[in-house]
């Protein structure tokens, strides 16, 4: 099955963008968040675009 970039539904601070990128790449979400903070002016714009365009990773419902 092909992996798809999605917002994380479990590892999120605001919208789950950094958590989703971390899950997709297979690295720590803390590292992704640090990169976003250190590249601040442009990363805020990119974050807003990703938060509005990426689908959320839905967990299967427990029944």
Q: Please write down the HEC assignment for all residues of the chain.
A: CCCCCCECCCCCCCCCHHHHHHHHHCCCHHHHHHHHHHCHHHHHHHHHHHHHHCCECCCCCCC
Share of the chain above pLDDT 90, in %: 62
Q: What is the pLDDT of residues 10-37, one digit of tens each?
A: 888 889 999 999 999 999 999 999 999 9
Domain assignments of the chain as residue spans, ordered by start:
1-57
pLDDT at 3: 84
Q: What is the pLDDT of residues 33-54, one digit of tens each?
A: 999 999 988 999 999 999 999 9
State the chain's mean pLDDT as an integer: 88
């Amino acid at each position: 099955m092909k992996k798809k970039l999605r917002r994380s539904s479990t590892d999120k601070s605001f919208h789950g963008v950094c958590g989703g990128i971390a899950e997709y790449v297979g690295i720590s979400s803390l590292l992704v968040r640090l990169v976003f903070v250190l590249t601040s002016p442009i990363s805020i714009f990119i974050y807003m675009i990703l938060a509005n365009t990426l689908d959320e990773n839905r967990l299967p419902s427990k029944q």
